[in-house]
Amino acid sequence: MKEAWTVAIESLSWMELQGLSERLALMKTVKQLRLKYSAAIGLAHKLVYETLRRKSFIDRFANIALAPHSLEHYTLGVRAFLRLYIYQTKFVKGGFKNAVNIANIGRSILGWRDLQEVEEALGKILKMESKSILKGLDLEERIGLVTGHPTWFVSYSIQLLGENEALRFLESSNRLLPTYIRINTLKGTKTSLLRRLTEDGIVPEEVKQLRYTYKVIETTKPLVKTDSFRNGLFYIQDKASSLAVEVADPLPGMTVLDICAAPGGKTTYFAQLMKNEGTIYSIDYSKRRMRIWDTETRRMGVKIAVPIVFDAQISFPLKISADLVFLDPPCSGTGVFSRAPSARWRITKDSVNAMSAIQWRMLNESVKYVKEGGLLVYSTCSITVEENEMIVEKLLELHQELDLVDTTPKLGVSGLRDLTKCQRLYPHMHDCSGFFVAKLVRANS
């Protein structure tokens, strides 16, 4: 328990100090503390993620208990401990004895002097009713606190989906989505691959609309620890991401330009559908992520992919006309808040607009490399119209040679703003990441 709380406190502190993601902060802390006890690391992971899901509620709760001071008055370590303490006592419960035990753990980690200033607040927190902090707030503020989202995003979601649908969408961010895998027919037939997965203790359930995607119902060990994973028999890939590649429908012998390709999910699926025949040029600006791409393409048996480290916002160092250009640019990630809860507190309306500007530069540049009769596919894991339909509208207005075509297979719902040939997916409707995909063809002259 102490090791887990040490990791959780340190990770939350690193996140606040350096703006790290949950994953990077946990990795940094585990490495820093040289921990190998998997149970402690697993508990720390849960503490960090579940606390961050409720950060706005927890912070309001803390600031009321700490008045006339606030969280900002205390050190990073104390702030992290208070947030974890509120999560544990208000959302997990366990009674007075559990609260005393947690307080003792905090003292042993941070020192009694550091926690002495907030001892009175710890008692107040135990006595306070959760409902009391919602008094006097308007509807959108209350929804934000209850579902764990900033008020601006609650307002945005209601405007986009309507109040009832928005509430379901926001609530879905606080549950774990299923894990999906895509079996790799470069390494065997469907039948042989599924048999090997079964032998590895993996119970898959087919996603019927997609060709090779399965929901993991059960596994006897972590997926990445299985022989099937090590041998490249499957890739852990959300069904929304698999859908986007199947919408693109690459064929053997094609020339494909995969932009923002790392860490390799799309590249490896392109190669699989192309039966390792043709050429895939995979572009990404991040050397670190392209190292992962290299590992993944090797593991999956890809032989036709060429890595290029380059910033896709400027002219590519290529002179090609591609049959298929696929762009999956950096985005706000508003469709994957369940997997990265800290992102909801970093993203603002201004940052959505900043992202859309980057996406536009990349997409407008991508058009140059689509051959006559070729295809351009654009996807994001965001649900905002600024990053999706509005960009496609702008592209169609500027490039009269492009036409929107249907996105099949149909897994989601139609796009907004009359772009019904595009496709949207939502966590609460489709049990996967929030996603958008559009497909365009370049007319022959």
Catalytic machinery residues: 381
- In three-state secondary structure terms, 35 is coil
**Distance from C-alpha of 423 to C-alpha of 419, rounded to nearest angstrom:** 9
Cβ neighbours for 326, distance < 8 A, ≥ 6 positions apart: 244, 245, 248, 256, 257, 258, 259, 266, 270, 376, 377, 379
Interstrand relation of 213-219 and 202-206 (parallel, antiparallel or unpaired): antiparallel
> SS3 helix, strand, coil % of the chain, rounded to 5?
50, 15, 35
Using CA atoms, how far apart are residues 445 and 442, in angstroms rounded to an integer? Answer: 9
- Count of CB atoms situated within 10 Å of the CB of 391: 23
* Residue 162: Cβ within 10 Å count: 10
Q: Which residue has the tokens 């208000």?
A: 90
Please spell the DSSP secondary structure of 313-366, one letter per residue: TS--S----EEEEEE------TT-TTT-TTHHHH--HHHHHHHHHHHHHHHHHH
Radius of gyration of the chain (CA): 24
Q: Which helix (H) or strand (E) holds 161?
A: helix 151-161
CA–CA distances in Å: residue 387 to residues 315, 335, 349, 414: 21, 12, 11, 16
**Whole-number Å distance between alpha carbons of 237 and 234:** 9
Give the end-to-end CA distance of the chain in Å, rounded to a whole number: 68
The answer to whether residues 284 and 290 touch, using CB atoms and an 8 Å cutoff, is yes
Q: How far apart are CA 434 and CA 366, in angstroms?
A: 24
**Is-contact 166 139, C-beta < 8 A?**
no
